[in-house]
Structure 1
């Protein structure tokens, strides 16, 4: 079990690095929406497993999960800037988690959306990258507002 946890955590770290380099995030989408799962670590306010939308850093990994309950889904691209300022913030507001790098056995990392924004901001800063954000005055502004809302 510990080995699985380490593997999942390492895949999450690679997810952060990869999407900051490529500025693309992949999701699985069908006519009804995006591929979702339920948390095994977090509960919602009703004591039920928290909802989660899953994302990947590589198109091939996302495609490999198109099976069973997700067999009618297709891989879709999301720009990193849109993912950070629309998806992450929207999912936080909706009480959803972000699942990263799930594999065919449905093992993946469960991230709090605002924590993920901070991790992505840190990685983008280390790469010296700035994103073209529409709702914030750059990564530093987004990061500052996220930190303020967490406190």
Structure 2
């Protein structure tokens, strides 16, 4: 089920070249992991993303009630979010609901899956920090 949810998310964001976030005062929505703990045995932060505007808007309740919807492109998602999430040792949250339940995934796995999907579809992205998709893939392989 989880693998299917990740696959659906990836297909949707690649097809539409957009990912949705909710943020408040430049703070993106973060939850606590139910699956992953850090070295201090505390839950790891989960940075949340959605493939669907309505799903994201539905989460602007309770502690996220002051958050607003933002749309980002796939390149920004990879370069400015997934890379930083990895660097911070956080986890990616996919299509969380208003109960803060969703799929948790490793940011490097998400990047790797996006690369494979783009290659399969013979698509290239215009990166700011990488020369091209092959360069991103080379850099990713160094981390895996």
TM bin (shorter chain): over 0.9
Q: Could you say which residue in structure 2 is the equivalent of 1:24?
A: 18
C-alpha distance after superposition, 1:46-95 (max 9, x if no partner):
11000011000111110111111111111101111011112111111111
Q: Partners of 1:142 and 1:32 in 2: how far apart?
A: 26
Q: Could you say which residue in structure 1 is the equivalent of 2:85?
A: 91
Moved over 3 A (4+): none
Q: Partners of 1:61 and 1:128 in 2: how far apart?
A: 29
Question: What TM-score do you get using the length of structure 2 for normalisation?
Answer: 0.95
Q: Partners of 2:59 and 2:6 in 1: how far apart?
A: 16
Contact map agreement 1:35 1:53 (CA 8 A) in 2: yes
- Corresponding residue to 2:138 among 121, 144, 149: 144
5+ unaligned residues in a row in structure 2: which ranges?
none
5+ unaligned residues in a row in structure 1: which ranges?
1-5
- Corresponding residue to 1:63 among 46, 57, 61: 57
Deviates more, 1:118-127 or 1:100-109: 100-109
C-alpha distance after superposition, 1:73-131 (max 9, x if no partner):
11101111011112111111111111011122322111111111001111111111110
Note if 1:13 corresponds to 2:7: yes
C-alpha distance after superposition, 1:3-49 (max 9, x if no partner):
xxx2x442221110010111111000011501100111111121100
Question: What TM-score do you get using the length of structure 1 for normalisation?
Answer: 0.90
Q: Partners of 1:79 and 1:19 in 2: how far apart?
A: 9
